[in-house]
C-alpha cells in the first residue's frame, strides 16, 4: 500500500526504476519536510483557506472574484469636492434650523409625539429634546453624506487600505484539518491521527496531497482500504511514501498550492489590455493547463528559466513526491534549475561522475520502434527542409541494421558499432553477415534480407545512411565513450520509467558539444512522446521540460504533442526565438500547443507569429468631440465658474460616436515594444477546452 499501486514495473527492463539520487528515509521514522521559506502559512490555515472555482489560470488560493465589467467611477477631484459641498450644505441647513431662521416647524413632531407632562418637567423635556435634535441632525448627516458620495469615498480609499478579513472558521464536521472524508468512511482512528499531525505541524502540504492521492485510489479500488488503514496507522504523516522516502524538496523558490496542484508564476497587470475581471489576480499553472503543452519564447535574460521553467519544474517535483506526477527536465549543464537533491536521478551526459546512462533506444525491444525514435533524433530537424532528411527513410535504414544486429547479439548496437554499420564499413557489415548466416535463430533469414536491402541502398548516391553516419558521429566522441551503452549493465535510464513518480534531470553538454546536445534533446522528446502515448497507466501526469528547445521541434513531434492531451502528459518548450524552429513548423507548433507565452524583448517577426495566432477581437470605441460652452449671462457664467472649480474642466457640450471595430488582441508592435521587462503575455487552454485570452502578466509578483 505504500506504493499505492503506482510503482509497479512494466517489465521492459529488469530494473526500470533507477535508485534515487539520495539515500531513502526509513519509512518508520517520519521525515521532517525539507527547507522552506518562513513565509509559508501553517498547514491548518492553508487547508482552511477558500479555493473558489475560477477561470483557467487563476490562482485559486484565497481568490476573490472581481466584476466582469469595470464600474463607472467618479473622478477623485469631483468626488471629494462634491462631498465637501454636500456636507457644508448640510451644516448650513442645520445652522439655519437651529437658530430659528427657518421657523420652528421642524420641532412639531417632537411636540406631537410627547405628552404634555414632559414639558412641565425640565430635565425630562431637555433629555427628549436633545434626543430629537440628535435624530434630526443624524438624519441630515446621512442624507447629505449620501448625496456627497461619502460611502464611496469610504470604500474606495479607507476600506481598501484595511487588512483583508480572514476566512471564517469552517462549520463543525467540515474542517479539512480533521480529515472529514476519512471520518465519514468509518476510519475515525486514521482521521484522528492525521488531524493531530496536521495541527502539530508534522504533516506538510506534500504529505496532505500524497495521502489524498492514496485515498482517491481507495475510492477507485475499494480492496485497498485495509492496506490504506494499516499504513496510516503505522506511519502517520509519512504514510504512502514516495519510493525515495523524501517528503519535500530541499528549497522552494515559488509559491505552490498542492491542494489544487497550482504554482503561481505572476499577477495579471492592472492594464486596459487585460479583461477587468482578471486584473490584479494571481496567475498560476497546473497539470490541467500543462497537459495542452506550453511554448515560451523570449530572448536570453527575459526570465524564461528563472520565472517559468524553474517554478514549473519545482511544482512537478512536489507533485511527484505526492505520487501525482512524473517529470523529466532537460537543461544545459550548470544551469541549476533545482538542486540535485530535488531529483531522484541526475544524468550528466558526458560527465564521468554521472551515475546513470541514457538508453539510446528508449527501452524499446522492437527494432522498428527503436529505429523510429532514433531517426527522429538524428535527422528529424532536417525532415522539413532537406529531402534527404526524411525521417521515414532514416527509420527504415536504421531498422535494416539494428534488427540484424539484435538478432545476432541479443541487444541493439552501441554508438561506435552503429556508426560503422551506417558507414557501410566492409569489416563491420561482413562480420554481421557472417554471424547471421551461421545463426540458429529462425528469424535470421528475414534479418539477412534486411541487411541485403541495406547494402543495395548504400550503393546509391543519395543514400540516407551517409547522413545518418554523419549525425551519429556527433555522439561517437571520446566524451561519450562511456555513454549510450547497450550491454545492459543496469545503468541505462529509459523514458518508459515515467509510469512511476520519478524526478529526473538530464544535463546536456552544450558548451563543447552543441550539436550532440540537440540530438540528445530530440531523442528525449521522441522517447517521451512514445512512452506517454503507449503507457497503460495514465493516472500520473507526465511532464517534459525543455529549458532550451533550440532545433528540437520536428514535424513528428508537433503531431505527437497534439496527442499528449488525451494521454495526461505535456511538454514545456522554451525558445529564444521562433527562428530556432524550421520555418514550415512555426505555425503548426503555435497551433499544436494550448498555452503560449511571449516574454519581454520579443523580436517583431516573432511577435507577428503570436499576434496571428491570438487573432482579433471586436471592441467598442468612442469618439468624443467637445465644444466649449460660452455664455454672456452673469448667472450662467457664475455656474460655469463653479463647475470649473469643482471638476477642473470647462463647461462643454459633448458629441459621442460609438462604433464596433475589429483589432488584434496583441499586435506585433505591442509584443515587441509594449511589454515591460519582467513581464510576459500569456494565453492558456485547458485539456477540457476552456481558455483564457492573452494576459499581460507581471512575473515578479
Query: What is the reported pLDDT for 148?
Result: 86
For residue 384, the model assigns a pLDDT of 59
Would you give the DSSP letter of residue 447? H
Q: In sequence order, what are the beta bridge partners of 696?
A: 681
Q: Cell for 379?
A: 535527422
What is the per-residue pLDDT for 138? 92
- Rounded CA gap, 378 and 523, in Å? 8
Residue 691 pLDDT level (bands cut at 50, 70, 90): very high
β-pairing, 652-664 vs 255-257, is unpaired
Q: 219 or 168, which is more confident?
A: 219
Q: Which of 78-82, 359-363, 636-640, 669-673 has the lowest mean pLDDT?
A: 636-640
Sign of CA dihedral 686, 691, 697, 701: negative
Q: Which residue has the higher pLDDT, 651 or 586?
A: 586
Q: Is the dihedral of CA 206, 209, 212, 213 positive or negative?
A: negative
HSE-up (13 A, CA, CB side) for residue 580: 18
- Residue 345 β-bridge partners: 504
- Show Cβ contacts of residue 179 under 8 Å, excluding neighbours closer than 6 positions: 190, 191, 194, 195, 198
> Cα separation of 622 and 199, whole Å?
57
Q: In which residue are the cell numbers 526524411 written?
A: 390
Residue-wise pLDDT for 294-315, tens only, equals 999 999 999 999 999 999 999 9
Place of cell 552543441: 514
Stretch 657-686: mean pLDDT, rounded?
92
503, 317 contact by CB (below 8 A): yes
What pLDDT score was predicted for residue 388? 52
**Residue closest to 213 by CA, chosen among 243, 188, 240, 187:** 240
**Sequence-separated (6 or more) residues with CB below 8 Å from residue 54:** 60, 63, 65
Cell of 608: 507577428
Would you tell me how many other CB atoms lie within 10 Å of the CB of residue 502? Answer: 27
CB 244 within 8 A of CB 200: no
Give CA–CA dist 292/562, Å, rounded. 8
pLDDT exceeds 60 at position 405: yes
| More confident call, 13 vs 166 | 166
Quick count: other Cβ atoms within 10 Å of Cβ 173?
9
Helix (H, G, I), strand (E, B) or coil at 537: coil
Mean predicted confidence (pLDDT) in 638-659 = 76
The residues, ordered by sequence, that sit 6+ positions from 2 with a Cβ below 8 Å of its Cβ are 27, 231, 235, 239, 240, 241
> Do residues 4 and 217 make contact, with C-beta atoms less than 8 angstroms apart?
yes
Dist CA 518 CA 350 (whole Å): 14
pLDDT at 618: 83
Q: How do 492-493 and 357-358 pair as beta strands?
A: parallel
pLDDT tens digits, residue range 579-634? 999 999 999 999 999 999 999 999 999 999 999 999 988 887 777 777 777 777 77
Tens-place pLDDT, residues 359-384: 999 889 999 999 999 999 999 888 65
* Cβ contacts of 104 within 8 Å, gap of 6 or more: none
Mean of pLDDT over the chain: 86
CATH annotation of 50-73+248-356+491-615+665-701: 3.40.50.300
**pLDDT the model gives residue 649:** 74
**Residue 10, pLDDT above cutoff 60:** no
Distance from C-alpha of 100 to C-alpha of 106, rounded to nearest angstrom: 10
Nearest of 73, 85, 88, 278 to residue 157 by alpha carbon: 73
3-state percent helix, strand, coil for the chain, nearest multiple of 5: 45, 15, 40
pLDDT at 69: 79
Angstrom distance (rounded) from CA 609 to CA 558: 17
Kindly state the cell numbers that stand for 11: 517489465
**pLDDT higher than threshold 70 for residue 462:** yes
Question: Which of residues 648 and 426 earns the better pLDDT score?
Answer: 426
CB 240 within 8 A of CB 2: yes
Angle between helix 514-534 and 367-379 (nearest 10): 140
| Best CA proximity match to 537, nearest among 494, 498, 502 | 498
Model confidence at 219: pLDDT above 50: yes
Question: Measured between alpha carbons, how far is 595 from 565 in angstroms, rounded to an integer?
Answer: 12
**3 state SS of 330:** strand
**Closest residue by Cα to residue 569 from 526, 597, 540, 591:** 540
Task: Write down the pLDDT at residue 500.
Answer: 93
Cα separation, 288 vs 310, in Å, equals: 18
Q: Does 443 have pLDDT greater than 90?
A: no
Strand partners, 619: 661
Determine contact, residues 209/262, Cβ cutoff 8 Å: no
Structure confidence at residue 206 as a pLDDT band (50, 70, 90): very high
Q: Is the pTM of this model over 0.85?
A: no
By residue count, the chain amounts to: 701
Indicate if the pLDDT at residue 344 is higher than 70. Answer: yes
pLDDT at 98: 87
How far is the CA of 329 from the CAs of 92, 484, 525, 679, in angstroms? Answer: 73, 19, 11, 24
CB 552 within 8 A of CB 525: yes
Domain ranges of the chain: 1-48+167-243, 50-73+248-356+491-615+665-701, 76-148, 367-480, 621-664
- 65 phi and psi angles, rounded to 5 deg: -65, 145
Alpha helices in 439-549 (DSSP H): 444-458, 464-472, 514-534
Task: Specify the pLDDT at position 34.
Answer: 41
Three-class SS state of 361: coil
What's the whole-number mean pLDDT along residues 247-251? 93
pLDDT at 35 > cutoff 70: no
Report residue 60 as a C-alpha cell: 485559486
The three grid cell numbers given for residue 130, joined into one nine-digit string: 436633545
Q: Is residue 44 predicted with pLDDT exceeding 80?
A: yes
Residues in CB range of 40: below 8 A, 6 or more apart: 46, 252
The partner residues of 652 in beta bridges, in order of sequence, read 628
Tell me the average pLDDT across 640-668.
80
Residue 160 has pLDDT above 80, yes or no: no
Q: CB of 552 within 8 A of CB of 573?
A: yes
pLDDT of residue 14: 36
**Which 3 state secondary structure label does DSSP give 485?**
coil
Q: How far apart are CA 557 and CA 546, in angstroms?
A: 13
pLDDT for 396 equals 93
* Across 114-123, 143-152, 384-393, 504-513, least confident range: 384-393
Which of 86-90, 430-434, 655-659, 688-692 is least confident? 655-659
| pLDDT of 33 strictly over 50 | no
Residue 165 burial (CB < 10 Å; 0-12/13-18/19+)? exposed
Which grid coordinates belong to 375? Answer: 531517426
Question: Would you say residue 339 has pLDDT above 60?
Answer: yes
Higher-pLDDT residue of 416 and 440 is 416
The C-alpha cell that represents 505 in the structure block: 534531470
Within 8 A by CB and 6+ apart from 248, the residues are 33, 34, 36, 204, 206, 318, 321
Segment 321-333, tens digit of pLDDT: 999 999 999 999 8
Q: 344 with 501: CB under 8 angstroms?
A: no
How does pLDDT run across 548-589, given as a tens digit for each residue?
Answer: 999 999 999 999 999 999 999 999 999 999 999 999 999 999
Q: Which of 10-24, 226-240, 438-452, 515-529 has the lowest mean pLDDT?
A: 10-24
> What is the SS3 assignment for 363?
coil
CB 496 within 8 A of CB 12: yes
**CA 261, 264, 270, 274 torsion: positive or negative?**
negative
Return the percentage of the chain with pLDDT > 90, whole number: 56
Asked if 275 contacts 281 with a C-beta cutoff of 8 angstroms, the reply is no
Mean pLDDT (whole number) for 384-402: 80
Q: Can you tell me the distance from the alpha carbon of 48 to that of 169, in angstroms, rounded to the nearest whole number?
A: 8
Amino acid at each position: 500500500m505504500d506504493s499505492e499501486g503506482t510503482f509497479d514495473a512494466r517489465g521492459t527492463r529488469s530494473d526500470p526504476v533507477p535508485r534515487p539520487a539520495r539515500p531513502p528515509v526509513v519509512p518508520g521514522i517520519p521525515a521532517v519536510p525539507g527547507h522552506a521559506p518562513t513565509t509559508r502559512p501553517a498547514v491548518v490555515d492553508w487547508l482552511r483557506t477558500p479555493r473558489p472555482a475560477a477561470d483557467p489560470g487563476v490562482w485559486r488560493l484565497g481568490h476573490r472574484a472581481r466584476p466582469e465589467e469595470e464600474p463607472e467611477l467618479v473622478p477623485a477631484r469631483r468626488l471629494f469636492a462634491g462631498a465637501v459641498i454636500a456636507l457644508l450644505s448640510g451644516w448650513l441647513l442645520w445652522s439655519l434650523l437651529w437658530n430659528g431662521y427657518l421657523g420652528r416647524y421642524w420641532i412639531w413632531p417632537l411636540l406631537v409625539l410627547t405628552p404634555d407632562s414632559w414639558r412641565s418637567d425640565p430635565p425630562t423635556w431637555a433629555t427628549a429634546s436633545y434626543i430629537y435634535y440628535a435624530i434630526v441632525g443624524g438624519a441630515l448627516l446621512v442624507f447629505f453624506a449620501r448625496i456627497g458620495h461619502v460611502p464611496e469615498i469610504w470604500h474606495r480609499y479607507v476600506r481598501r487600505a484595511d487588512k483583508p478579513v480572514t476566512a471564517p472558521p469552517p462549520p463543525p464536521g467540515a474542517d479539512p484539518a480533521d480529515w472529514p472524508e476519512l471520518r465519514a468512511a468509518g476510519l475515525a482512528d486514521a482521521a484522528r491521527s492525521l488531524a493531530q499531525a496536521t495541527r502539530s505541524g508534522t504533516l506538510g502540504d506534500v504529505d496532505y496531497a500524497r495521502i489524498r492521492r492514496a485515498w482517491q485510489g481507495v475510492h477507485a479500488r475499494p480492496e485497498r482500504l485495509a492496506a490504506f488503514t494499516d499504513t496510516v496507522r503505522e506511519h502517520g504523516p509519512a504514510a504512502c511514501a514516495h519510493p525515495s522516502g523524501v517528503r519535500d524538496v530541499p528549497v522552494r523558490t515559488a509559491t505552490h498550492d498542492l491542494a489544487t496542484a497550482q504554482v503561481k508564476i505572476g499577477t495579471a497587470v492592472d492594464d486596459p489590455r487585460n479583461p477587468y475581471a482578471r486584473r490584479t489576480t494571481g496567475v498560476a499553472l497546473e497539470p490541467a493547463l500543462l497537459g495542452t503543452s506550453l511554448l515560451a519564447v523570449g530572448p536570453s535574460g527575459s526570465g524564461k528559466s528563472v520565472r517559468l521553467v524553474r517554478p514549473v519544474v519545482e511544482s512537478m517535483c512536489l507533485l511527484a513526491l505526492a505520487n501525482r506526477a512524473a517529470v523529466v527536465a532537460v537543461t544545459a549543464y550548470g544551469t541549476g534549475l533545482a538542486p540535485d537533491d530535488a531529483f531522484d536521478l541526475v544524468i550528466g551526459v558526458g560527465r564521468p561522475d554521472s551515475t546513470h546512462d541514457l538508453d539510446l533506444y528508449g527501452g524499446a525491444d522492437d527494432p522498428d520502434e527503436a529505429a523510429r525514435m532514433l531517426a527522429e533524433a538524428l535527422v528529424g530537424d532536417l525532415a522539413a527542409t532537406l529531402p534527404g532528411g526524411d525521417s521515414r527513410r532514416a527509420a527504415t535504414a536504421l531498422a535494416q541494421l539494428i534488427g540484424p544486429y539484435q538478432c545476432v547479439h541479443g541487444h541493439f548496437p552501441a554508438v561506435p558499432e552503429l556508426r560503422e554499420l551506417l558507414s557501410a564499413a566492409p569489416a563491420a557489415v561482413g562480420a554481421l553477415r557472417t554471424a547471421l548466416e551461421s545463426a540458429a535463430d529462425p528469424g535470421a533469414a528475414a534479418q539477412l534480407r534486411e541487411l541485403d536491402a541495406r547494402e543495395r541502398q548504400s550503393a546509391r548516391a543519395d543514400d540516407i545512411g551517409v547522413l545518418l553516419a554523419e549525425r551519429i558521429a556527433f555522439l561517437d566522441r571520446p566524451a561519450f565513450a562511456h555513454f549510450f551503452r547497450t550491454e545492459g549493465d543496469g545503468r541505462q535510464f529509459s523514458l518508459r520509467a515515467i509510469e512511476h513518480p520519478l524526478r529526473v534531470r538530464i544535463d546536456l553538454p552544450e558548451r563543447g558539444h552543441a550539436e550532440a546536445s540537440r540530438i540528445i534533446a530530440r531523442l528525449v522528446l521522441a522517447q517521451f512522446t512514445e512512452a506517454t502515448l503507449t503507457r497503460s497507466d495514465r493516472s500520473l501526469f507526465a511532464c517534459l521540460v525543455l529549458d532550451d528547445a533550440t532545433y528540437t521541434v520536428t514535424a513528428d513531434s508537433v503531431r505527437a504533442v497534439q496527442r499528449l492531451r488525451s494521454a495526461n502528459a505535456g511538454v514545456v518548450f522554451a525558445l529564444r526565438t521562433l527562428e530556432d524552429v524550421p520555418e514550415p513548423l512555426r505555425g503548426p507548433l503555435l497551433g499544436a500547443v494550448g498555452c503560449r507565452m511571449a516574454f519581454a524583448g520579443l523580436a517583431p517577426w516573432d511577435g507577428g507569429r503570436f499576434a496571428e495566432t491570438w487573432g482579433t477581437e471586436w471592441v467598442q470605441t468612442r469618439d468624443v468631440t467637445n465644444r466649449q460652452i460660452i455664455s454672456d449671462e452673469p448667472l450662467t457664467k457664475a455656474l460655469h465658474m463653479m463647475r470649473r472649480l469643482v471638476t477642473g474642466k470647462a463647461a462643454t457640450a459633448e458629441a459621442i460616436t460609438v462604433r464596433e471595430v475589429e483589432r488584434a488582441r496583441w499586435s506585433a508592435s505591442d509584443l515587441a515594444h509594449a511589454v515591460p521587462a519582467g513581464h510576459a503575455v500569456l494565453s492558456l487552454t485547458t485539456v477540457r477546452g476552456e481558455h483564457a485570452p492573452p494576459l499581460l502578466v507581471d512575473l515578479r509578483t
